[in-house]
Structure 1
Amino acid sequence: MKKVLFASTALVMTAGVASAEITLSGSANMGIKGNAFNGSIDAPTFAGETTVHNEIDIDVVGTGETDGGLTFGASVDLDASSDDSANTTGGGASDPEVFVSYNGLTLTVGDIGEAQAVGGVADVGYDGLGVDDLVDDLADGGAAGLGGSDDVRVDYAFGDIAVALSADSNSGADTGVAVSVSGTVDAFDFAVGYADRQVGGVDFTQSTVTVGYSAGAFSVGATYAQHDSTTFGKLTGYGVDVSYTTGDVTVTGVYTANDLNGNAPDQSAFGLGVAYDLGGATLSGGVASIDLGAGSETVADLGISFKF
Structure 2
Amino acid sequence: MKKVLFATTALIATAGMAAAEVKISGYGRFGLDWNEANDVAGALDNTDATNITSRFRLTFDVSTETDGGVTVGGRIRAQAENRDGAQGRATFSSPQFHVAYGGLRVNVGNIWGAIDSAPGLYLNTTSVGTGIDGMGFNSLAIKGAGFDTFTSAGVGRGGIEAIYSAGGFTGHVSYSKQNGTAGTSTDANGVERTALMLNYSFGDYFVTGAYQSADNGRTITKGGVAVEADDDVIFLAGGADFGQFGATLQLAQTEEADSVTLAGEAEVGAASTVIAWVNSTDIDTGVTAGQTVTDGTAFGINYEYDLGGGVTFVAGYVNTAADDNDNSVQAGLHFSF
Paired with 1:240 and 1:189, the residues of 2 have a C-alpha distance of 15
Q: CA RMSD in A?
A: 2.8
Q: How does 1:113-128 map to 2 (within 5 A)?
A: 113-117=112-116, 118=118, 119-122=120-123, 123-128=129-134
How has the CA–CA distance of structure 1 residues 36 and 30 changed in structure 2, closer, same or farther, with 3 Å as cutoff? farther
Structure 1 match to 2:305: 276
Structure 2 match to 1:289: 319
Structure 1 match to 2:135: 129
What is the letter of the counterpart of residue 215 of structure 1?
Answer: F
1:208 aligns with 2:235: yes
Please identify which structure carries the higher strand content.
Answer: 1
Q: Are the equivalent residues in 1 in contact too, given 2:37–2:327 (CA < 8 A)? A: no
Structure 2 match to 1:7: 6
The Cα of 1:116 is off from its aligned counterpart by: 2.1
1:179 aligns with 2:196: yes
Could you list the structure 1 runs, at least 4 aligned residues long, displaced by more than 6 angstroms after superposition: none
With 115-124 and 98-107 compared, the bigger mean Cα shift is at 115-124
The Cα of 1:191 is off from its aligned counterpart by: 2.0
Q: Secondary structure at the match of 1:128?
A: coil
Paired with 2:3 and 2:37, the residues of 1 have a C-alpha distance of 32
Q: Are the equivalent residues in 1 in contact too, given 2:122–2:140 (CA < 8 A)? A: no
Structure 2 match to 1:261: 284
What is the letter of the counterpart of residue 234 of structure 2?
Answer: S
Structure 1 match to 2:66: 66
Q: Deviation per CA, 1:93-116, whole angstroms, max 9, x where unpaired?
A: 214101111111111111112212
What is the letter of the counterpart of residue 4 of structure 1?
Answer: K
Q: Secondary structure at the match of 2:141?
A: helix
Paired with 1:48 and 1:305, the residues of 2 have a C-alpha distance of 23
How has the CA–CA distance of structure 1 residues 210 and 134 changed in structure 2, closer, same or farther, with 3 Å as cutoff? closer
Paired with 1:121 and 1:62, the residues of 2 have a C-alpha distance of 27
How has the CA–CA distance of structure 1 residues 248 and 64 changed in structure 2, closer, same or farther, with 3 Å as cutoff? same
In the alignment of these two chains, the number of paired residues is 285
Structure 2 match to 1:76: 76
How has the CA–CA distance of structure 1 residues 114 and 48 changed in structure 2, closer, same or farther, with 3 Å as cutoff? same
Q: Deviation per CA, 1:168-191, whole angstroms, max 9, x where unpaired?
A: 256946333111012311110222
Paired with 2:208 and 2:311, the residues of 1 have a C-alpha distance of 28
Q: Deviation per CA, 1:251-305, whole angstroms, max 9, x where unpaired?
A: 111101212213454032111121101221110101121122x335210000110
Paired with 2:4 and 2:334, the residues of 1 have a C-alpha distance of 15
Unaligned runs of 5+ in 2: 39-46, 124-128, 149-155, 180-188, 220-226, 286-290
Structure 1 match to 2:273: 250
What is the letter of the counterpart of residue 254 of structure 1?
Answer: W
Unaligned runs of 5+ in 1: 39-46, 143-147, 229-233
TM-score (norm 2): 0.76
1:156 aligns with 2:175: no
Q: Deviation per CA, 1:28-75, whole angstroms, max 9, x where unpaired?
A: 10110010789xxxxxxxx76101121011001111001110101011
With 176-185 and 62-71 compared, the bigger mean Cα shift is at 176-185
The Cα of 1:154 is off from its aligned counterpart by: 0.7
Structure 1 match to 2:42: none
Percent identity at matched positions? 23
Q: Secondary structure at the match of 1:116?
A: coil
Structure 2 match to 1:100: 99
TM-score (norm 1): 0.83
Paired with 1:160 and 1:13, the residues of 2 have a C-alpha distance of 39
1:194 aligns with 2:197: no
